[in-house]
Structure 1
């Protein structure tokens, strides 16, 4: 990666400005904590409580039509992506990012993938390692800062607490993965006409969740996420007060979660899982609200 003399001067000025701003605002706030900056001054050390070693999950096979529609990087070889800040309206610096799984979104240097959006939940991995932030659990992203080295702020342990780090804190970058559904989530099973058939309980997550597409309409953000989960289904199909016609089942459900964030809402919500096929009732949707 090469810088022009003008770009290099801009970077130095930005670093000096951010260092001054950090000393005044971030370090003085007891409610905001930062992850290690790997050499950046005035960084708090919190890795002992926010890391664990976890086996990286396998990458699911995804059909060609499910490929992300707003891809902001090129793939070089089997496991290298090339991204450029100009793709996100930022300084035109190119990064080669290795060791990302297909479902992960890159953050490195000044580059933050456009699909990393405040209000949505993500898991975060130190790229090039098996080390995860937040003990590998998904966290709500509260904000992405402006400028070049971008401050990413996540929800903390309490509603008033926040945890943040900078996009250029880790030399190899970060790997983000969106999270649309959780173990224990409850849905209403609906047929193709959205008539209720029963209830579904998410028993386990079987494969990593993958962003398919993201679009904005009038300030509302909608993200489509491919999910593969194990569900426990209980049906309530009855005829004239008789016993249920279809008994319950435990099945693998593959579908597309629709995650929506309204313009005035802080948190996105998974409203339904579409394109699901359950063995006993066929094509259906799993809905949060009717």
Structure 2
């Protein structure tokens, strides 16, 4: 029996890594029962250190980890992964200045000195906070109580004045200069709001139901941006919990009734666009949504 264990069990995990990893691989073998926390711990072992901030020209890991195993029974999230990003103003036609922005989260865009990330565009809504290693986690870091505001304009010159929409029409105090904060600013785009209502369309554009956003779970992260003749379109990855009401058509197609109501957590690609003639961007649709009862569909804002 001992020789069998050495040959067919112990040898299987040689070179896997630390003793903890060997023990983990044995626990999740096809012949073992998966315990709470095993899968999260495996993801931690396999993916630790692979992430890099998309805005970095030369980025180095700063601190943080995406998962933390507290015990075999419960896994709790640790501090968000952040990075140290080096940006160059010369790439935007400014003076050859180099800046280092610390504490930037993956979904955030840097603004510092004369450098403004090219994805930061007037007309779109952003949440803004001070960047830096000393920034704490939570809404206390964000301006305006964490509320997303539309960027109205970016001034000319080196220290660019960034003006946002204010609740007061005659006395706008929502502005600052790009070079006012030595450690810089962190911007993240905001495309979808809680309480927003949608019509659910199938692949043939038929309306199959309606939904209302009850919670937004992940940071809204911009994935792509296109600008053609002043028309700017952004795609933003979102994760939402929605209250869904499915429509049920009568057998003879004479009427539509409100039938089944459910709660679904979905992921999708929010399309936000600003035309050349418009000062503000608007949400066009959330594409790539999958609902168990309907399959692939999209959410279209209900303007009624």
TM-score, normalization by structure 2: 0.69
Deviations 1:235-264 (A, max 9, x none): 113132588696221111101100000101
> Does 2:231 match 1:220?
yes
Structure with the larger RCO, 1 or 2 (CA within 8 Å, 6+ apart): 1
Shift of 1:187: 1.0
Aligned equivalent of 1:127: 131
SS in 2 for 1:237: strand
- For the residues of structure 1 that align with 2:58 and 2:294, how far apart are their CA atoms? 41
Aligned length: 224
The answer on 1:84 being equivalent to 2:88 is: yes
Structure 1 pair 211–73 and aligned structure 2 pair: CA distance change class (3 A) = farther
Unaligned ranges ≥5, structure 1 = 1-60
**2:269 maps to 1:285:** no
Q: Deviations over 1:187-212 (max 9, x none)?
A: 11011122111111011111110010
1:155 corresponds in structure 2 to 165
Q: Shift of the alpha carbon at 1:159? A: 3.3
Q: Aligned to 1:248, what secondary structure does the other structure show? A: strand
Q: CA deviation at 1:138?
A: 0.4
Name the SS of the counterpart of 2:91 in structure 1: helix
CA shift for structure 1 position 146: 1.1
Q: Which residue of 2 aligns with 1:75?
A: 59
SS of the residue aligned with 1:208? coil
Work out the CA distance in 2 between the residues paired with 1:72 and 1:269. 28
Q: 2:197·2:302 contact (CA, 8 Å) conserved in 1?
A: no
**Correspondences of 1:123-202 after superposition (within 5 Å):** 123-128=127-132, 129-130=135-136, 131-162=141-172, 163-202=174-213
Task: Specify whether residues 147 and 215 from structure 1 end up closer, same or farther in structure 2 by C-alpha distance, changes over 3 A only.
Answer: same
The CA distance in 2 between the partners of 1:206 and 1:112, in whole Å, is: 27
Identify if the C-alpha distance between structure 1 residues 186 and 260 changes in structure 2 by more than 3 Å, giving closer, same or farther: same
Against the structure 1 CA distance between its residues 161 and 257, is the aligned structure 2 distance closer, same or farther, given a 3 Å change threshold? Answer: farther
Partner of 1:260: 273
Contact 1:246 1:280 in 2 (8 A): no
Q: Give unmatched runs, 5+ long, in structure 2.
A: 1-46, 63-82
Give the CA deviation at 1:75.
2.2
Q: CA RMSD in A?
A: 2.3
Runs of 4+ that moved beyond 3 A: 71-74, 241-246
1:206 to 203, 211, 217: 217
SS at match of 1:181: coil
Q: Residue 145 of structure 2: SS of its match in structure 1?
A: helix
**CA offsets, 1:13-58, max 9 Å, x none?**
xxxxxxxxxxxxxxxxxxxxxxxxxxxxxxxxxxxxxxxxxxxxxx
**Bigger Cα Rg:** 2
